[in-house]
Amino acid sequence: MDKYAVWGNPIAQSKSPQIHQFFAQQTRQKMEYVAILGDEVHFESQLLAFFAAGAKGCNITAPFKQRAYQLAQVYSKRALTAGACNTLKKLDNGELYADNTDGAGLVSDLQRLDWLKPNQSILILGAGGATQGVLLPLLQARQNITIANRTLAKAQDLADKFAQYGKVSAVQLNDIPAHQFNLVINATSLGLQGQTAPINQDILKLAHAVYDMQYAKQCDTPFIAWAKSLGVQNLSDGFGMLVGQAAHSFALWRGVMPDVTSLIIQEII
């Protein structure tokens, strides 16, 4: 049976095995998909051994997205611009192909929510790997993007790098212009510590919709809870993005795109 896995550290929390098993059943694909705890020191040799033993592909999650990217020989454009990959596929000639489906997962979810009209203004909070992974697909969807970050230089670097793909600018997190953004996306890692990005709350009050790339099962993430308390009507955590990025990886490996709607709406896993 064709073998796949998700690699990360920690990995016990990963929903990817359940998501891919659901997709495999739905599309009648015979495949195995497991979670593997990568070793902080020996990750590269572990991953290469996994492929040498016949595995067909894998997902990569924190903290290995950049390290896995270094092991590939062939890259999708979206992996190249992200400088990181969440998906590897073994090609027929034995080379490893790196892709990054995080941005496609976000774009699919925003389309599902009907939040992605052309020429909108989007505010992204954070300028780390999560932001870098989604900028190209959002700009290709003709969104005008403002990146706000605590460390302005990191936001400015991303804005400079992605300016060739569309309208993107950088601001300091505590200096965001009062503007009615169509969408505010949290891509900081603050929710992991139960915190929210320290931005002027008026920015959220004015926003048409608020999306958190993080997700929490059966409760609100700190950022969503804050936006809700301020009266924002259109809210979503990142569960649909998680399912969406998995679906795009699955399609790359198996040549068939699963239907994500029932999984997202019913939160089956």
Residue 21 CB, nearest distance to ligand ATR (Å)? 26
Closest CB to ligand ATR among 7 and 253?
Answer: 7
For residue 231, say whether it is annotated as part of any ligand binding site.
no
Which of these, 113, 117, 54, 68, lies nearest to 249 by C-alpha position?
68
**Residue 197 interacts with ligand ATR (CB under 6 A): yes or no:** yes
C-alpha 231: how far from chain center: 26
**Residue 188 interacts with ligand ATR (CB under 6 A): yes or no:** yes
Cα distance between residue 109 and residue 182, in whole Å: 15
Instruction: Write the single-letter amino acid at 40.
Output: E
**Residue 112 interacts with ligand ATR (CB under 6 A): yes or no:** no
**Residue 127 interacts with ligand ATR (CB under 6 A): yes or no:** yes
Give every strand in the sheet of 183-186, ordered side by side.
168-172, 144-149, 121-125, 183-186, 209-212, 234-236
Q: Is residue 65 flagged as an active site residue?
A: yes
**Residue 246 interacts with ligand ATR (CB under 6 A): yes or no:** no
For residue 167, say whether it is annotated as part of any ligand binding site.
no
Taking contact as CB under 6 A, which single stretch among the options 8-16, 72-80, 122-130, 221-229 is the one that binds ligand ATR?
Answer: 122-130
Taking contact as CB under 6 A, which single stretch among the options 97-105, 112-120, 184-192, 233-241 is the one that binds ligand ATR?
Answer: 184-192
Tokens of 235: 């809210």
Task: Find the DSSP H helices in 187-269.
Answer: 201-206, 222-229, 239-254, 261-266
Cα distance between residue 44 and residue 12, in whole Å: 20
Instruction: Write the single-letter amino acid at 214.
Output: Q
Cβ–Cβ < 8 Å for 49, 20:
no
Closest CB to ligand ATR among 149 and 249?
Answer: 149
DSSP 8-class letter at 243: H
Closest CB to ligand ATR among 55 and 196?
Answer: 196
**Residue 172 interacts with ligand ATR (CB under 6 A): yes or no:** no
Contacts to ligand ATR from residues 137-156, by CB under 6 A: 149-151, 154
**Residue 174 interacts with ligand ATR (CB under 6 A): yes or no:** no
For residue 15, say whether it is annotated as part of any ligand binding site.
yes
Cα distance between residue 18 and residue 217, in whole Å: 14
| Catalytic residue from among 30, 65, 89, 217 | 65
Cα-only R_g, the chain: 18
**Which residue ranges make up the site for ligand ATR (CB under 6 A)?**
126-130, 149-151, 154, 173, 188-190, 197
Provide the annotated active-site residues: 65
Per the annotation, binding residues for shikimate are: 14-16, 61, 86, 102, 215, 245
